Amino acid sequence: MESSKKLKAQINPQGWQQFLTGLKDLLDSYDRARVYSKLHEVETYHGVVAEAQFRKWLSNFLPKKYAVTSGYIISQGLPDTEKIPHYDVIIYDCLESPILWIEDHSDVSEHGRSRAIPVEYVTAVLEIKSRFNSKTVSDAVNHLQDLKKLMESEDDENEPYKVYLPKNFTCGLVFFELKQENTTNIAALDKLCEAVDLKGFMGGIILRGEHRMDNCSGALMLMVGDDDDGALKMNQSQKRNYANINMINNVSTNSKLIFNGDKKYHCFALLWRPSEFSTFAFNLIALMNGTYRSGFIPSFHGFGGYIANNNK
């Protein structure tokens, strides 16, 4: 009897199209809410729905050791006189973490409740915005910077009263859409450069771009180089990964950054391809698990749909 051929991971794997129905469901819910929002005196309803739907999708996607909520991060190192910011998406270790309190009322669903989580159990924070533009990027980055006091150090493993975010903490940004008028918005990308010193900052994703193909999302990706144009140069493995994709929408202006005493240059590029939704999702898991490898595709699940030109 002939032996079976050994399986090998591949692009366009089994079930990749089905995985991307999660992205379609998110955007369909957002579009319905945007229609209803037009009837409101202040059009914010679609933003609230975007946050809730993303939390719901994330709750179903993540390993069950992680839970997702909106709410507050509480540290024993801060006084009770300090205001507590509210965050759109907090991911935490639900097997170990107590819930300090829940803000609840009868009109709020399970995914809309706000919970207070002790800082040492928080593994990620994501800011969710409806549209990608200079204002929303600025607001999101500024809000993440409210966490800086909790990022300044790490607790000793044997410290009984932990006050800082854990070692594998990560944070990032999610935008539901990019409108055509903002496709050349360099100022928005430049604002992202202010977030590079945040602990575990993973960049972000734009779920949909106007006039882009279906299932094509945009990665807000940090690039770093040794000289003033080195940040724009991809290494050979990256070039192979992105081959045949007309993907670069825009690039921020280079900024100087100090890494371990060495001067580096960095910029953010907006890169489009069908697999960015999957890449963002599985990178998030890898970062929280401490298994992330720079330059490597985190998973082939949901990775597919390559075409030579991703513009409609």
Q: Please, where are the H alpha helices in the chain?
A: 16-19, 21-37, 45-61, 134-144, 186-192, 236-241, 276-289
Confidence of residue 2 (pLDDT cuts 50, 70, 90): low
* Mean per-residue pLDDT, 104-128: 83
CA-based angle 181:305:250, to the nearest 5? 30
Pick the closest to residue 247 from 280, 213, 224 (CA basis). Answer: 213
* Mean per-residue pLDDT, 60-83: 96
- For residue 192, which phi and psi values (nearest 5 degrees)? -60, -30
- Is the confidence at residue 41, as pLDDT, over 60? no
Q: Between residues 296 and 37, which one has the greater pLDDT?
A: 296
* Mean per-residue pLDDT, 57-80: 96
The predicted pLDDT at position 244 comes to 37
* Mean per-residue pLDDT, 77-81: 94
Average pLDDT, whole number, for the chain? Answer: 84
Pick the closest to residue 96 from 121, 69, 115, 63 (CA basis). Answer: 121
The predicted pLDDT at position 158 comes to 93
Q: Measured between alpha carbons, how far is 231 from 238 in angstroms, rounded to an integer?
A: 13
Of the segments 2-16, 129-143, 199-213, 228-242, which one has the largest average pLDDT value? 129-143
The predicted pLDDT at position 309 comes to 40
Beta carbons of 293 and 264 less than 8 angstroms apart: no
The predicted pLDDT at position 235 comes to 43
Confidence of residue 119 (pLDDT cuts 50, 70, 90): very high
- For residue 178, which phi and psi values (nearest 5 degrees)? -120, 115
What are the tens digits of pLDDT across the range 126-166?
999 999 999 999 999 999 999 999 999 999 999 999 999 99
Q: Please, where are the H alpha helices in 145-292?
A: 186-192, 236-241, 276-289
What are the tens digits of pLDDT across the range 171-186?
999 999 999 888 888 8
Q: Where are the domains of the chain?
A: 16-289
Q: Between residues 120 and 241, which one has the greater pLDDT?
A: 120
The predicted pLDDT at position 214 comes to 75
pTM above 0.75, yes or no: yes
The predicted pLDDT at position 67 comes to 97
Q: Measured between alpha carbons, how far is 265 from 270 in angstroms, rounded to an integer?
A: 17
The predicted pLDDT at position 16 comes to 87
What are the tens digits of pLDDT across the range 247-277?
556 666 656 555 555 666 778 888 888 889 9
What are the tens digits of pLDDT across the range 245-255?
445 566 666 56
